[in-house]
Structure 1
């Protein structure tokens, strides 16, 4: 933290032409207020954390681009892991708000949520625009 304060003091001194500890403290307070207001860890972190796993990412992507809900047995070949691992990954996607689950007898069907579809559509559009 001391190094961060030193670097921040240098930045502020260059920007403001002079800087004191009160300026550094004020800027740190502004930054903390910004992050407190912007990041709801309970909502944001699970969504992106769950997509950091290759299996869950592929499953979420598959569900987002298919028009129909899919059974676990249909998703297993997409990721080449056991049915148990697929079920666990899908459960994580449901918990993160990226997939829905419907049980019909012995079968469980999954579909992408509007959030998942929107995330992938936005990512595809932005990647396409930058190429």
Structure 2
């Protein structure tokens, strides 16, 4: 086993691509997977430009740490939550909602597969 160290605040994520679930024309995102485990765990860095997009967590939980930027995250039928640098946001499996990015947002994330229910 090797330790993985990554400088998420300054890494190049590559060319941004259109955000597929965006409701804002021209919104883009970029991501870099830093590590994947065999147990359904993935971690990486993600960034998005300003705009609004829908999101859902089908079959996985996500824990993210906001590095820079600001956004409002609103769970479907819920109250808007403002997030910014230093905040930790958890969206559990089954979560749905909308992200409104006010200034370019960069986060680290950990995705954990949710156990299947029989």
- For normalisation by structure 2, the TM-score amounts to 0.28
More strand by share: 2
The structure with higher relative contact order (CA 8 Å, sep 6+) is 2
In our comparison, the structure showing a higher alpha carbon Rg is 1
